[in-house]
Amino acid sequence: MDLSSEMLELTASDGLKLKYALDDYSDPWRPQETLILIHAAMGSSRRLYKWVPILARHFRVVRPDMRGHGQSAIPGANQLSVGRLAKDVVELADHLGCKKFHVAGSSAGAIVAMQTTLDYPDRVATLTNFASTPGLKNSLIDMNKWVREIRAKGMRGFLEETIHERFPDISDAGFLRWFIDESAKTDADLFCRFGPMMKEVDQTDRLHDIECPMLNVVPGHDPLGAPGQYEVYRKHVPHCEFMVYEGLPHNITDSVPEHCAEDLLRFLLKHRAP
């Protein structure tokens, strides 16, 4: 079954071909607002398919494949950075004729969403973070170990060995198989560049520059993070809305996607333009 909309294309300013999906079932006579949803690492726009029915009735929902992921082209040696990923988001908005947009991201995608907000504050209407710290620098992820295991076992082997750490409470074999199949499409060499790059990111010192409305939705039991890691948002972005999904591990956007989308919709409707 094909879960994705028809993939559209834009060419980034550095020449890389990027793909994205667009879904819009909002009332055509109302002012159109755009939401850009950014998937996690080892993911693609397809991983957010359950969000679309909930959100696209009210917003134009755009799901890009980050460079190197999904159907987007793999970047060259000098074409991959967090700043470049943020620029891709803004160039996509330009491509769609969208001066201001809402942006939300999952895990590494949320880091990109935050970078976009920090680098282009006049373009972002609201920011939503699902299950991400302001960077992976202070996380408990041993990225060197991940890279070694991926190089030794391949993406599929790595994912098969760690799937129950990601979803300890999900017994649906079909979902787990689908998650592995989708994530294993990620180019191993690309991730071995992408992961270490993200491990060097820490946006904490810039968080106070976020002025737009911000929603933080975080897991209550995240084995990938240090204790209290998410409290940094309460300290540095005091105006943010903060929600904890108690008892859930890191992959909340895949394990409870409808819950995430419904909380995002509530937040967006509260902050949409008059």
**pLDDT for 177 beyond 50:** yes
What is the per-residue pLDDT for 228?
73
pLDDT at 5 over 90: no
Instruction: Give a yes or no: residue 93 inside a domain.
Output: yes
Q: 155, 183 in Cβ contact below 8 A?
A: yes
Q: What is the pLDDT of residues 147-157, one digit of tens each?
A: 999 999 999 99
> Has residue 1 been placed in a domain?
no
Helix (H, G, I), strand (E, B) or coil at 191: helix
Cβ neighbors of 12 (< 8 A, separation 6 or more) are 18, 67, 87, 88, 91
User: Is residue 191, in this structure, part of any structural domain at all?
Assistant: yes
pLDDT bracket for residue 4 (50, 70, 90): low
* Residue 90 contacts residue 120 (beta carbons within 8 Å): yes
Distance CA 78, CA 269 (A): 39
* Averaged pLDDT score across all residues of the chain: 94
- Angle (CA) 268 72 120, round 5°: 45
Residue 54 maps to a domain: yes
Q: Tell me, what CATH number does 22's domain have?
A: 3.40.50.1820
Give the burial string for 14-31 (b: 16+ CB within 10 Å, else e). eebebbbbbbbebeeeee
CA atoms of 193 and 242, how far apart (whole Å): 31
**CB-count exposure of residue 78 (10 Å: 0-12, 13-18, 19+):** exposed
Q: Is residue 267 part of a domain?
A: yes
CB contact set of 243 (below 8 Å; sequence gap of 6+): 215, 216, 217, 218, 263
Instruction: Find out whether 121 and 212 touch, Cβ atoms under 8 Å.
Output: yes
**Cα–Cα nearest to 111, from 35, 244, 206:** 206
Domain count along the chain? 1
Residue 243: strand, helix, or coil: strand
* Predicted confidence band of residue 1 (pLDDT cuts 50, 70, 90): very low
Q: What is the pLDDT of residue 223?
A: 62
Q: State which residues form the domain around 28.
A: 8-271
Cβ count near 64 (within 10 Å): 28
Q: Does the model's pTM come out above 0.75?
A: yes
For 210-244, the pLDDT digits (tens) are 999 999 999 987 766 655 788 899 999 999 999 99
More confident residue, 21 or 138: 21
pLDDT attached to residue 168: 87
Do residues 18 and 88 make contact, with C-beta atoms less than 8 angstroms apart? yes
Question: For the purposes of burial, counting CB atoms within 10 Å of the CB of 88, is it exposed (0-12), middle (13-18) or buried (19 or more)?
Answer: buried
